[in-house]
Structure 1
């Protein structure tokens, strides 16, 4: 079993600490860009799927962080994050910060309406995260 397969197997473990360690290892693989595009997309897809069932807040945050790390070296479509969009309304502010930026980093204009709904959130930090995500959404231009 290669390291990616081991980490992907680890995120399904019964013990949340074991899942957290596996997610952190995936974050390392993604952040160091040692995976090819297909493997990176598989890893991120599995992390998104994990978020749909994960109840441990530490594992949730680690998974969102791992996905965020992947955007440095890799590009992903908004479609990959459709399951994440459905979870936004129930996320605490600390996780929304990650999730909104993940949607923005796809640079897909179709993410705008989802992000904009959080501009009126009761939490000031979430409103600021949404505003920052909208700034990131179009992508950066190189002078």
Structure 2
């Protein structure tokens, strides 16, 4: 279910299977055909949760949701990603990989300066992801569908 109320309920009750339920939502974003406006609202709320989350597994699951919303539902340009850009330096490499990709998909040129320092990362994967994110931003907008 792609509804903020459902996601709020999951976090209020915070059961042991939260990680699995978030995975199910990620699958729905990947394979389902949810209402676009619901996905945008849901993504904005999931971003707030992802930034605030302290449990690594849950945080990673939330970033997986965000990635699926951006990749499969095409909402990257409908969400304000500044809060994500602000927390990049605090993110673990596994989550940073998602975050850089999401910022790249936004195609927002204001994130170029935020992404560029990661071209110098000691982690090969982070460097490659930063390069890809910058290429995505710099790609001709007409080329995207």
Same fold by TM-score greater than 0.5? yes
CA distance in 2, matches of 1:69, 1:123: 24
Aligned match of 2:86: 86
Unaligned ranges ≥5, structure 1: none
Aligned match of 1:114: 114
Aligned match of 2:25: 26
For the aligned residue pairs, the C-alpha RMSD in angstroms reads 2.3
CA distance in 2, matches of 1:119, 1:130: 6
- 1:20-59 matches, cutoff 5 A: 20-59=19-58
Worse overlay, 17-26 or 56-65: 17-26
CA distance in 1, matches of 2:13, 2:84: 21
Per the alignment, do residues 18 and 76 of structure 1 end up closer, same or farther by CA in structure 2, a change over 3 Å counting? same
Aligned match of 1:133: 133
Give the TM-score, by structure 2 length. Answer: 0.81
Offset at 1:36? 1.4
Give the TM-score, by structure 1 length. Answer: 0.82
1:4-25 CA-partner distances (Å, limit 9, x unpaired): 333442134334x433233223
More helix by share: 2
CA distance in 2, matches of 1:49, 1:13: 18
Unaligned ranges ≥5, structure 2: none
Per the alignment, do residues 121 and 78 of structure 1 end up closer, same or farther by CA in structure 2, a change over 3 Å counting? farther
Worse overlay, 23-32 or 106-115: 23-32
CA distance in 2, matches of 1:3, 1:33: 10
Worse overlay, 120-129 or 99-108: 120-129
Q: SS of 1:114's equivalent?
A: helix
Offset at 1:100? 0.1
CA distance in 2, matches of 1:97, 1:55: 17
